[in-house]
């Protein structure tokens, strides 16, 4: 169980790789929020995807269709017995879902879970330090629950074929991931403009995706101020993965897509302005940097210096 958010789902991918490495014949099913189901589908070690729509159901609890969908979701969870049902999220909502499946439930103990009360819902509980990075916590919980050692670097286990979209620039590009869930996590637009203009002088274009209307407007506005830049059309997660895979590098704020870039082994510079990257910053095996922190805004010059290292 790791249902949301996008970054959290990506952080759980190495667990699948670990399980399949230690138990090559294991079947690994994944319960995930419907809007993020495309992420586990990228991993060849994942079997059945069981989508859940908690976010949508909360808004439509008075509709009969929502209750029918909830019943269908429960039937999907109970379609077959499991040897283990591991909840790596440690929230009441995820623990309640795990308890609906047929099989022993395993999760964090009260001192380790984000919501301590959930430990009462598990059949077996394990201690995992809350001072560890989220990826490491997920891996150690699953390892303790299933009886193996979570050693080595995290293997996200996903790949994407580089994009061949007709609208891409006709020269190397860096993906600018400018959108995030909170305004205080944004990097100033003047900084994006300065970075993009410097990359243009190096013969590298900026490609700016955006999801919501506000994000798309920002991408269009920034692209207009950066020579050679392109504001990408609306894209789904597989297309975004392909876009990232074709880029020379990615620069992103505190958002799930920045973690996706690292999972795909794309050289990545992550920008933090309102949160501490210590426990949830980007983590992977390729080139990656976490710049900034709470009330710290990385400068365009610092970001460019890291990019130049990544780009050679």
Average pLDDT (288-304) is 97
CA distances from 142 to 26, 88, 126, 213, 282 (A): 14, 7, 9, 39, 20
Q: What is the pLDDT of residue 312?
A: 84
CA dihedral 184, 189, 191, 194 (to 10 degrees): 170
Q: What is the pLDDT of residue 58?
A: 86
Residue 40 has pLDDT above 70, yes or no: yes
Q: The tokens of 223 are what?
A: 């692209």
- pLDDT tens column, 74-96: 998 999 999 999 999 999 999 99
Domains belonging to the chain, first-starting first, are: 6-146 (3.40.50.2000), 173-311 (3.40.50.2000)
Answer yes or no: are the C-beta atoms of 306 and 289 closer than 8 Å.
Answer: yes
Residue 3 has pLDDT above 90, yes or no: no
Answer yes or no: are the C-beta atoms of 179 and 255 closer than 8 Å.
Answer: yes
How many degrees, rounded to 5, is the angle at CA 258 between CA 270 and CA 153? Answer: 85
**2-11, 63-72, 222-231: range with highest mean pLDDT:** 222-231
Q: What is the pLDDT of residue 143?
A: 98
Q: Which residues of 172-198 are buried (b: 16+ CB within 10 A; e: fewer)?
A: ebbbbbbbbeeeebbbeeebbbbbbbb
| Rg from Cα positions in the chain | 20
Percent of the chain at pLDDT exceeding 90: 92
Q: What is the pLDDT of residue 5?
A: 85
């Amino acid at each position: 169980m790791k249902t949301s958010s996008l970054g959290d789902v990506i952080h759980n991918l190495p667990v699948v790789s670990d399980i399949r490495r230690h138990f090559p014949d294991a079947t690994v099913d994944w319960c995930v929020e419907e809007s993020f189901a495309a992420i586990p589908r990228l991993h060849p070690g994942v079997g059945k995807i069981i989508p859940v729509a908690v976010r949508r159901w909360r808004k439509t609890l008075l509709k009969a269709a929502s209750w029918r969908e909830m019943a269908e979701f429960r039937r999907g969870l109970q379609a077959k017995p499991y040897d283990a049902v591991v909840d790596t999220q440690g929230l009441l909502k995820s623990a309640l879902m795990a308890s609906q499946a047929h099989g022993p439930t395993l999760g964090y103990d009260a001192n380790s879970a984000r919501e301590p009360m959930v430990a009462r819902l598990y059949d077996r509980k394990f201690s995992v330090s809350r001072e560890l990075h989220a990826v490491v916590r997920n891996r150690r919980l699953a390892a303790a629950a299933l009886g193996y050692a979570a050693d080595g670097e995290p293997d996200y286990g996903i790949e994407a074929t580089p994009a061949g979209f007709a609208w891409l620039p006709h020269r190397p590009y860096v993906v600018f991931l400018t959108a995030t869930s909170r305004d205080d996590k944004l990097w100033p637009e003047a900084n994006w403009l300065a970075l993009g203009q410097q990359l243009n002088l190096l013969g590298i274009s900026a490609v700016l995706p955006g999801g919501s209307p506000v994000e798309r407007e920002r991408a269009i506005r920034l692209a207009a101020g950066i020579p050679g830049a392109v504001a990408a059309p609306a894209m789904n997660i597989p297309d975004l993965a392909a876009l990232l895979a074709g880029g020379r590098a990615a620069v992103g704020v505190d958002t799930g897509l920045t973690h996706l870039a690292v999972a795909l082994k794309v050289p990545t510079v992550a920008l933090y302005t309102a949160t501490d990257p210590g426990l949830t910053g980007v983590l992977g095996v390729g080139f990656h940097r976490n710049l900034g922190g709470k009330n710290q805004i990385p400068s365009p010059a610092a970001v460019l210096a890291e990019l130049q290292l990544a780009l050679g």
